[in-house]
Homo-oligomer: A and B are copies of this chain.
Amino acid sequence: MRTNRLAGRVVWLVGRASLHAQRLLHRRFAEHDLRKQHYAVLRSLADVGSAAQGPLADRVAVDRSDMVALVDELEAAGHVERSPDPDDRRRKIVSITGSGTEVLDELGELVEAADDELLAPLSEAERRTLVELLTRILPPADRGRAP
- Contact surface of A with B, Cβ cutoff 8 Å: 3-22, 24-25, 36, 39-40, 43-44, 47, 61, 108, 111-112, 114-115, 118-119, 121-122, 126-127, 129-131, 133-139, 142-146
Contacts and interface: CB of A to CB of B under 8 A. Distances in A.
A134 B10 contact: yes
Contact of A11 (B13, B16, B25, B43): B25
Nearest to A60: B6
Copy count, this protein chain: 2
B17 A21 contact: no
Given A21-B11, A24-B11, A130-B130, A6 B138 contact: no
Contacts of A22: 11, 15
B7 A18 contact: no
Nearest to A61: B16
B20 A134 contact: no
B18 A17 contact: yes
A72 B47 CA distance: 48
Contacts of A7: 135, 143-146
Given A7-B143, A10-B118, A143-B7, A137 B17 contact: yes
Most buried by B among A14, A43, A129: A14
A40 B12 contact: yes
Contact of A122 (B25, B43, B136): B136
